[in-house]
Amino acid sequence: MNWREKYREKIVSADEAVQCVKSKDRVIINLGGEPRHCLAALALRRDALKGVRLACSWVYDHPWFHPGFEESFDVRATFTTKATRQAIKERRVDWIPWLPGLGDRDRSLERDRGGVQQNADVAFIVVTPPDEEGYCSFGNQMWNGPNAVRSAKAVVAEVNERMPFTFGDNVHVSQIDYLVEAPVDSTSTSVPGTEWTTSNVEEWEKAQVIAAEAADLIRDGDTVQVGIGVPSESVIHYLETKNDIGIDTEVIYPQIITLMKKGIITGARKNVNKGKVIATAAWIVHGHPQEKETVESLDHNPTFEFRDFSYICNVPRIASNDNMVTINTLLGIDLLGQATVDFLGGFPIAGQGGQLEYCIGSHYSRGGRSIACLLSCAKGGKASRIVPQFEAGTGIGVPMGYVDYLVTEHGSVNLEYKTRRERAEAIISVAHPNFRDELRKAARQIL
């Protein structure tokens, strides 16, 4: 039987597909792009199911974030997003701290381990229609998809025609148990992405100052990772005067595609994956002027290589590129240089992503550097994001010693091989001037 026949046999409706989920099952859902038709059908099975564990990063709103679903669905979140923040606060969703780059299938299959990425009963993924050979692509949102397919007992794939077909890790029709063709006319069958919003103008302007400053620390031939956050994402804009930049990152932003077309991003000096742009997802911004162009550029483009999140964040792999530069946005930093990226005052407000792995990887890379971007103030200038000490319950995402350069709108400083006091001085020198005296006073007491 060839794959086309198999494909036809596996096509079912969303309602039929979700029948494979049983009470107490562990269900893992493709991060970044949820199969919304299947999940809507799953929610309808509330009264038939008990204690089904669902793990995802949750971009879209789902019924189980709201009261009344607690007994049927035990919901876990690997990131906190707008969709889940309230539910986490109200304990309907539980947050799982995890590191994508350190998950090892052989470890996770041991009893009592795994659960986030692997070891699932059912995996829900989103794929493109198959190519001539029967391979489907994960489109612009791969994340943990390939690993989920490899380890789950049953795989349900929602087919989304609008997603671009990308290369790298693919999934063959034979690996899928149920295929659900999403209705093309539905608005919930758009390319997975985010809505375009014009952010706070003043903050945006400050982010540009930071980005330009950070771009000065990047040299021709560097391989760059760009973390999520306006300041770090904006750095790409300021690389126009550089040459032979390589990209090895989690997410491709539209600006990266622009610089590829201009011949600035070539990956020519990479030690591994030479000439390729390596990532696990691409940001499609709905309503953005570049939306259509981004989708078209990704489609069947062999320059892009999409790989599983665990491969992207593998520390030895990251370190194997010389001059690996990581650029990330922090939420706050203390005077020792401990950075928080996901967890403020006892509450998770984002997710760790691959920041820690990239910071460590760049540490081992010959010529590697880790650059942290930080808006010096929060709350419209009323609070400094540079603090003497974090309040109790703050999560440290990057331990002290792994941020090499700190960049704010007041300048950039190198923290490498500085003592506690030298670090504090350097960090204070890029704090907002209104807070410097206060910080200096605190530093004298604690250091």
Partner 1 sequence: MERWREEFERKMISAEDAANMVKSGDRVAFTMGREAYAVGMALAVRKEELKDVKVYIHAPGYDLGWYDKGWQDSFEITIGQPTALVQDAVYEHDVDVLIHGLIPAGYPGLRGDAVGPDVLITEVSAPDDLGFCSFGNSLWDKKKQIQKSKLTIAEVNGNLIRTYGNNYIHVSEIDYFVPHVSTEGMPGKRGSLTGREFKEPPPYVKKIAGYVSDFIRDGDTLQIGVGRTTEPLVSLGMLDMKSDLGWHSEATPPGIISSIRSGKINGSRKTINQGKAVVTSIGGSSREEMEWVDRNPLIWLMEVEYLEDIRVISAHDNFVSINSALMVDLVGQIACETIGRKRYSLSGGQLPFACGAWLSKGGRYIVVLSSTVEGRNGPVSRIVPTFPPGTVSSIPAVLADYIVTEYGVARLAEKSLRQRADALISIANPDFRSDLRKAAME
Task: Identify which of residues 83 and 360 has a Cβ nearer to partner 1 in the complex.
Answer: 360
Query: Is 108 an interacting residue with respect to partner 1 (CB under 8 A)?
Result: yes
Query: Is 120 an interacting residue with respect to partner 1 (CB under 8 A)?
Result: no
Query: Is 161 an interacting residue with respect to partner 1 (CB under 8 A)?
Result: no
DSSP state of 265: B
Question: What is the enclosing helix (H) or strand (E) of 211?
Answer: helix 201-215
Q: Which residues touch 405 (CB under 8 Å, ≥6 apart)?
A: 214, 217, 369, 370, 371, 372, 412, 413, 414, 415
**Among 395, 410, 426, 435, which residue sits at the site for partner 1 (rule: CB under 8 A)?**
395
Task: Identify which of residues 11 and 109 has a Cβ nearer to partner 1 in the complex.
Answer: 109
What are the two backbone dihedrals, phi and then psi, of residue 73, each rounded to the nearest 5 degrees? -125, 125
Query: Is 316 an interacting residue with respect to partner 1 (CB under 8 A)?
Result: yes
Query: Is 354 an interacting residue with respect to partner 1 (CB under 8 A)?
Result: no
* Integer Cα distance of 106 and 191 in angstroms: 33
Stretch 77-96 residues interacting with partner 1 (CB under 8 A): 91, 94-96
Number of residues that bind partner 1 (CB under 8 A): 61
From 250, 305, 357, 409, the catalytic residue: 250
Task: Identify which of residues 203 and 322 has a Cβ nearer to partner 1 in the complex.
Answer: 322
**Ramachandran quadrant class, 89 (left: phi over 0; alpha: psi -120 to 50; beta: rest):** alpha
Query: Is 113 an interacting residue with respect to partner 1 (CB under 8 A)?
Result: yes
Stretch 398-427 residues interacting with partner 1 (CB under 8 A): 398-402, 415-423
* Integer Cα distance of 258 and 297 in angstroms: 10
- Dihedral sign from CA coordinates of 38, 306, 340, 433: negative
**Is position 250 annotated as part of the catalytic site?**
yes
Query: Is 104 an interacting residue with respect to partner 1 (CB under 8 A)?
Result: yes
What is the smallest separation between the CB atom of 204 and partner 1, expressed in angstroms?
30
Cα separation values, 385 from 87, 211, 217, 376, Å:
26, 17, 22, 5
**Among 1, 184, 201, 392, which residue sits at the site for partner 1 (rule: CB under 8 A)?**
392
* Integer Cα distance of 281 and 290 in angstroms: 17
**Ramachandran quadrant class, 331 (left: phi over 0; alpha: psi -120 to 50; beta: rest):** alpha
Stretch 319-348 residues interacting with partner 1 (CB under 8 A): 319, 336-338, 343, 346, 348
**Among 3, 60, 98, 167, which residue sits at the site for partner 1 (rule: CB under 8 A)?**
98
Query: Is 107 an interacting residue with respect to partner 1 (CB under 8 A)?
Result: yes
What is the smallest separation between the CB atom of 118 and partner 1, expressed in angstroms?
9
Query: Is 447 an interacting residue with respect to partner 1 (CB under 8 A)?
Result: yes
Choose one: 1-9, 136-144, 180-188, 309-317; the region binding partner 1 (CB under 8 A): 309-317
* Sequence-ordered strand ranges (E) for 85-209: 93-95, 122-127, 135-137, 154-159, 170-172, 178-181, 194-195
Cα separation values, 138 from 14, 202, 298, 302, 427, Å:
19, 37, 12, 14, 42
Choose one: 28-36, 183-191, 251-259, 388-396; the region binding partner 1 (CB under 8 A): 388-396
What is the smallest separation between the CB atom of 300 and partner 1, expressed in angstroms?
33
Task: Identify which of residues 63 and 367 has a Cβ nearer to partner 1 in the complex.
Answer: 367
- For 61, the token pair is 């709103």
- For 309, the token pair is 């999140």
Task: Identify which of residues 375 and 426 has a Cβ nearer to partner 1 in the complex.
Answer: 426
**Among 364, 381, 383, 434, which residue sits at the site for partner 1 (rule: CB under 8 A)?**
364
Strand order in the sheet with 122-127: 93-95, 73-77, 52-56, 26-29, 122-127, 154-159, 178-181
Quickly tell me which residue has 């960049």 as its tokens.
Answer: 407
Q: Which of 86, 61, 91 lies closest to 74 in space, CA to CA?
A: 91
What is the smallest separation between the CB atom of 159 and partner 1, expressed in angstroms?
30
* Integer Cα distance of 84 and 92 in angstroms: 9
Query: Is 116 an interacting residue with respect to partner 1 (CB under 8 A)?
Result: yes
**Among 32, 33, 35, 114, which residue sits at the site for partner 1 (rule: CB under 8 A)?**
114
Binding residues for partner 1 (CB under 8 A): 76, 91, 94-99, 102-104, 106-108, 112-117, 314-316, 319, 336-338, 343, 346, 348, 352, 356, 360, 363-364, 367, 389-393, 395-402, 415-423, 444, 446-447
- Hey, which residues are catalytic here? 250
